Amino acid sequence: MSKIAKQAAGHEDATFSDIVWSQFKKNKTAYLSLWLLAGMFLLAIFAPIIASERAFYWQEGGETYFPWFTSLFDDNYFENGVDKFFNLLLVLGVPLFCIWMVGVRRIQSFGLSKRVRRQKMKRFGQILTAFFTLCFLFILLNPQGRKNIHSFEDYMDATTKESRSITAVFPPIEYGYSKQILKDKLKRPGFGGDCSKQDQGSDSCRSYAMGTDSVGRDVMVRMLYGIRISLSVGVIAVGIYVTIGIFLGAFAGYFRGRIDLVIQRVIEIVMAVPTLIVLLVLISFIEEPSIFHIMLVIGLLRWTGVARLVRGEFYRLRNLDFVTSAIALGFSTRRIIFQHILPNALGPVLVAATFGVAAAILIESSLSFLGLGDINVPSWGQTLRDGYLTQEWHLILIPGLAIFITVTLLNLVGEGLRDALDPKMRK
């Protein structure tokens, strides 16, 4: 077969997602931004390996302990569900990925058509996702609390004061994001300390690459764990309002008439409600606002744009030949909406979702900066507020840059995806 014939055959076998991905990779800026976001996601997953107060390995009196592993799902150490989710990814991510790769190779070895292979890989992925979800629900519904032992502080006390023989291996940074050392508060960024010989190895001799905040917490550790909060707020909040918007927009665009009229009026009412003001009012009435309250409110109020996009796409696709043929063949309404029309209407939704993640991160950071966020999570906005109150430059510059870089990367990916989905922009 000639080279031209092979290219033509490959093009005919390519799906719409294959074409969009190949076009997206041609945008070098967006492609690099996507890889940088993937790197941030990996940092969020492996954060406990980089910074944790618990020891990987602890040997004392002939007994061996592994306190780091048991701390991953300890309510006394990781208090919020976001941390537990990422910790579960840390534990199960590699095994599930290996199982996925083995399963994909087995499916590809069967000699099936590309369409059938995709369907089988999709079902296999759904099974693995369901297993991960069940494990996560089990962890949330069965809280575990252990005494805070085998920490770096215990190790220092035992070796300096009690002279006990202990062998321990700690992460590169021996503190968690909530560890407070008041005598080290508001330390400037640095990589070396002025220590006397008798102080070497103590907390007062410790240097901090990004400094400390007003209560002596390591800013680098809080920035590291703050990636988890920012990405979670963006993805979960957007996931909520994209789901709502898709359902309402699909119903409005397909059924039209009175259903469309009612949904349009609801959209106009919700659009008139300012999200930030509602968040400020609701959080002021909640005794202990959590990060999940913020996600829920954002998700319940910002679905209108997605609903209008989906409605417009359904209006455009409703009278095309493939929809008319599906109706003439007697397919159910559910199948026509979700299997025939919706996959062809998701392009603008994906672009809006990408920009929506960036907007959700900005909203959460704004609330934390105003002091109305969840005080139990290491939000970048909290560190920025601390810098505003103390007028310390490193507490303003570092979280500000983190927010700016993350939002910029998301916007660049969104622009690249928008161009890849536009047939006029394809090269």
CA distance 71 to 87: 10
Band of pLDDT at residue 397, cut at 50, 70 and 90: very high
Specify the higher pLDDT residue, 409 or 294.
Answer: 409
Residue 146 DSSP SS3: coil
Report whether pLDDT(143) > 80: no
- For the chain, give every domain's residue range: 219-425
**pLDDT score, position 220:** 92
State percent of the chain over pLDDT 90: 22
Q: Count H helices, E strands: the chain?
A: 19, 3
CATH number for the domain whose boundaries are 219-425? 1.10.3720.10
**pLDDT score, position 333:** 86
Mean pLDDT is lowest, of 90-99, 127-136, 337-346, for: 337-346
Report whether pLDDT(10) > 60: no
Sign, CA dihedral 409-410-415-417, equals positive
Q: What are the pLDDT digits (tens) for 212-239?
A: 888 889 999 999 999 999 999 888 989 9
Band of pLDDT at residue 3, cut at 50, 70 and 90: very low
State the chain's mean pLDDT as an integer.
Answer: 83
Report whether pLDDT(352) > 80: yes
Specify the higher pLDDT residue, 222 or 157.
Answer: 222
Supply the DSSP string of 85-143, one letter for each residue: HHHHHHHHHHHHHHHHHHHHHHHHTT---HHHHHHHHHHHHHHHHHHHHHHHHHHHHS-
**pLDDT score, position 164:** 64
**pLDDT score, position 162:** 59
Report whether pLDDT(250) > 60: yes
Which pair of structure tokens corresponds to residue 29? 């800026």
Q: What are the pLDDT digits (tens) for 79-110?
A: 888 899 999 999 998 898 888 888 888 877 77
Which DSSP state fits 337? I
Report whether pLDDT(33) > 90: yes
**pLDDT score, position 166:** 77
* For residues 12-19, average pLDDT: 68
Contact indicator for 124, 107 with CB cutoff of 8 Å: yes
Mean pLDDT is lowest, of 36-45, 82-91, 188-197, 409-418, for: 188-197
Sign, CA dihedral 219-223-228-229, equals positive
Band of pLDDT at residue 425, cut at 50, 70 and 90: low
State percent of the chain over pLDDT 70: 87
**pLDDT score, position 5:** 41
Q: Nearest-CA neighbor of 88 among 69, 102, 103? A: 69
pTM of the model: 0.85
Band of pLDDT at residue 265, cut at 50, 70 and 90: very high
Which helix (H) or strand (E) segment holds residue 59: the answer is strand 57-60
**pLDDT score, position 288:** 75
Which pair of structure tokens corresponds to residue 415? 């622009």
**pLDDT score, position 168:** 82
Report whether pLDDT(325) > 50: yes
* For residues 119-148, average pLDDT: 83
* For residues 411-419, average pLDDT: 88
Q: For the chain, how many residues are written?
A: 427
**pLDDT score, position 197:** 41
Band of pLDDT at residue 245, cut at 50, 70 and 90: very high
**pLDDT score, position 214:** 87
